[in-house]
Structure 1
Amino acid sequence: MMACKGKECVWIVLLAFVRVCHQVCVTDCPVNFVLKQPNVTISNYGFDAVNISWKVEEIAEKGHFNVCYYYSHEFTDKEMKTNKRTTLTTNYQTVKLRMRPRLVGLVSNALCEYGDIRFQSKPAEFVYIAPPVYINNVSCVLFNITNLNCSWNFRKDAPNDTNYSIALRLNFKWLACTNYIKRSKKNVGCYMQDVFSNYKDATILNRIRIGFFSDVHNFSKTFRPEAVEILTPPRNILVSSENESTIIKWLPPASITIIDLQDGMTSTSDSEEGDNFVYEIRVTEDKSNQIFRQINDTEKEEQIFPDLAKDKKYCLQIRARHRSKFSKFWGEWTKPVFINKDNKIFPEWILIGIAPALLAALAFYLCKRYIKILLVTPIPHPSQNMKNWLHMDGSNNLRPQAIITAQHEQSVLLSEIEIVTTTDKKH
């Protein structure tokens, strides 16, 4: 032990005396003896939640300390084991279960000073066992901005008559599923189409809540939109050349996490981080179909290629995903964009759409022209001499029927006909 000299010893002795007196005073005061265990009550609260509340006897003399409570709980299931510890000034705590079957916790009555617990009673333990949930592996996928697919599996111990229906929480109402996927007469999936198409409030886009309903137990599961969304392809790809380099630019994809689905959109999910998407770019040689360049996880919406050969044709595709750490899926690839030796863009729709249209227009023009000629031009009638020749018999005499027909068609003198035939006989 270090030796002290002069005034140092006096100060050390005084500080030690004050500390001991303080501890003895607090220990001897009734404050330490009125901190009794709280009486804990557990009740259902809303949808898929419980309310933990407790009652304590009022502390008559607490000095300058404030009443507070030490609270902790833990979910004991192996798949989703989480815990929470906190100091409260209210005598209740609401806990969302989210399909977790068992909750255990502790509550202590306490006195706090400047937010720190100074005195604490013996903790009261509580246990809550939720009604059984007979499904697992619940997953949802959001695509095309407004469509939602969800699926789940039944546990092996699920009763044969147990079934679940689901609904989406939207506009403070439950939107029931109408298109179920069934297996062995049980619902194992749901397809919801255009569920967000008429919704414009961006606050709902911070989460997607799905409710599960059965005769045994109701519960809900919440997803982050950026964690389950499969993005649409990036838009408006532009290819240009500058200083012997090929420059690719594009706009970000439309997303449910965007307030306004127009050009120049801004995100609401990670606004403090700036860019909210990362991109993957794939360039392949058109003839060999070999990958020329693969660029992963770029945050820029522009890419420069200084080494594309001028005499080769390339195929370019881009896809995106949310930059959030919760994001699970890459979005859809863009349609192939071809870059030829002139570094010009040739979208696929030019060959598919314009070429057949030109051929159809040419065929229509030719048909219209020649059909009009055939329909409008009159067919000439044969001359009377041709008709007479067709109606002569073997001795070069006109058949009586032909003569009668000719008389009706044209007034011709019989003598003229005889002269012609006589002349023919002399020769």
Structure 2
Amino acid sequence: MGFQGGGMNGTAIENFICVIYNVSFMNCTWHVGRTAPGDTQYFLYWKSSRREEFMGCQNYIKDNCGRHTGCRFQNVTIKNKMAHFLVNASSSGQAIKPFEKKIALYKIEKLTPPLNVTVNCTGVSYGCEIQWQPPRTSHVKRDACFKYEIVIENTADPGKSMKDASKIKSNITGRSYIFQNFNAEKRYSVKIRATDNGCLVSQTWGEWSIPVEFGREHLMSTSGYTLFLLSLITASLVFFICIVTCLKTTSTPVPQPKDPFHEISPMHFQIAYENQLIKHEAEEIITTIEEMDDMQVK
């Protein structure tokens, strides 16, 4: 595939930049030519080696006018490849100047952060050992190909407006670093990034690792402290309600059992009992008299 000839100056794309990130993804972006007509449309083609055929972009980035201003690629492999980029354009008004650029892919890679950053503090005299693993790449496997920059900060107390001065160490090789000035009464954070150390690796610094904190226990943040207070108040209210409920339960009078004699007072029960005795004695006297009368008749 070749270039379309001709084209006025200022119509070709400008500020063409490609970046490889997260091992195998690549973004290429550009600006519309300063003198390009409004209906100009650009088309990107590329190949990653001389033996390959040019491939057109499948996932364009567009501006508000629908013009192509970039392209996204996946499954890009770096190795030792020199990529060849072509950007042609079309317009109904005039010929557009084409653009061409060759780029060594390893030079445009944004290195991932170093992996598995850990800190082991064995004592004040010995300090803390910071360890990590190299960033992920698709073409470099040797540890010696990377050097690192480490930033260690004192974590500020909530009452302080600024952090203490940072400790920066550059050009560190290997997979570990000993932090000697460790103070067990302070809290620290560490982050690391990588760059080239004489191999086919990008010479720009890669991405920072997520800060890892070590040292004294975390000071409670304002939001955490507020949440703690709310939890404490809620628990106190629940406890208070339980206490009040228990007190009410224990102070309630115990209901008296019903009188088995239908609530007849003792006086009434005594009178009824005496009347029953009198009735019984009268019946016995009448029975005795009737027996005497029967005997006399005989």
**Shorter chain as normaliser: what TM range?**
0.5 to 0.7
**How far apart are residue 237 of structure 1 and its match?**
2.1
CA distance 1:323–1:249, shift in 2 (3 Å): same
Which structure 1 residue ranges, 5 or more long, are not aligned?
1-45, 50-128, 259-264, 267-273, 347-419
> What is residue 211 of structure 1 aligned with on the other side?
86
Equivalents in 2 of 1:187, 1:47: separation in Å?
20
Which structure 2 residue ranges, 5 or more long, are not aligned?
91-95, 158-162, 219-258, 266-298
> What is residue 312 of structure 1 aligned with on the other side?
186
Give deviations 1:301-323, integer Å, cap 9, x for gaps: 32222222222121011011234
1:285 paired with 2:123, answer no
> What is residue 294 of structure 1 aligned with on the other side?
168
1:246 paired with 2:120, answer no
**How far apart are residue 170 of structure 1 and its match?**
5.3
Which residues in structure 2 correspond to 1:367-378 (within 5 Å)?
Answer: none
TM-score, scaled to structure 1: 0.42
Give deviations 1:137-189, integer Å, cap 9, x for gaps: 11112211122222111232212332102244258341523241314332222
> What is residue 113 of structure 2 aligned with on the other side?
233
CA distance 1:285–1:167, shift in 2 (3 Å): same
**How far apart are residue 293 of structure 1 and its match?**
0.6
> What is residue 149 of structure 1 aligned with on the other side?
27
Question: Is the contact between residue 47 and residue 220 of structure 1 (CA under 8 Å) also seen in structure 2?
Answer: no
Question: Is the contact between residue 283 and residue 291 of structure 1 (CA under 8 Å) also seen in structure 2?
Answer: no
Which residues in structure 2 correspond to 1:18-417 (within 5 Å)?
Answer: 47=2, 131-132=7-8, 134-169=12-47, 172-173=52-53, 174-192=55-73, 194-196=74-76, 203=79, 205-215=80-90, 216=96, 219-241=99-121, 244-258=126-140, 265-266=141-142, 275-287=144-156, 289-323=163-197, 327=202, 329-341=204-216
Aligned-residue CA RMSD in angstroms?
3.6
Question: Is the contact between residue 14 and residue 31 of structure 2 (CA under 8 Å) also seen in structure 1?
Answer: yes
Give deviations 1:22-54, integer Å, cap 9, x for gaps: xxxxxxxxxxxxxxxxxxxxxxxx5459xxxxx
Equivalents in 1 of 2:60, 2:99: separation in Å?
20
CA distance 1:311–1:424, shift in 2 (3 Å): same
Equivalents in 1 of 2:56, 2:23: separation in Å?
17
Question: Is the contact between residue 44 and residue 88 of structure 2 (CA under 8 Å) also seen in structure 1?
Answer: yes
> What is residue 282 of structure 2 aligned with on the other side?
none
Question: Is the contact between residue 206 and residue 257 of structure 1 (CA under 8 Å) also seen in structure 2?
Answer: no
| Structure 1 SS opposite 2:149 | strand
Bigger relative CO (Cα 8 Å, ≥ 6 apart): 2
Question: Is the contact between residue 195 and residue 201 of structure 2 (CA under 8 Å) also seen in structure 1?
Answer: no
Bigger proportion of residues as strand? 1
Equivalents in 1 of 2:111, 2:184: separation in Å?
33
> What is residue 12 of structure 1 aligned with on the other side?
none
Q: In percent, how many aligned pairs have the same letter?
A: 22
CA distance 1:206–1:301, shift in 2 (3 Å): farther
Q: What count of residue pairs does the alignment treat as equivalent? A: 209
Structure having the higher Rg = 2
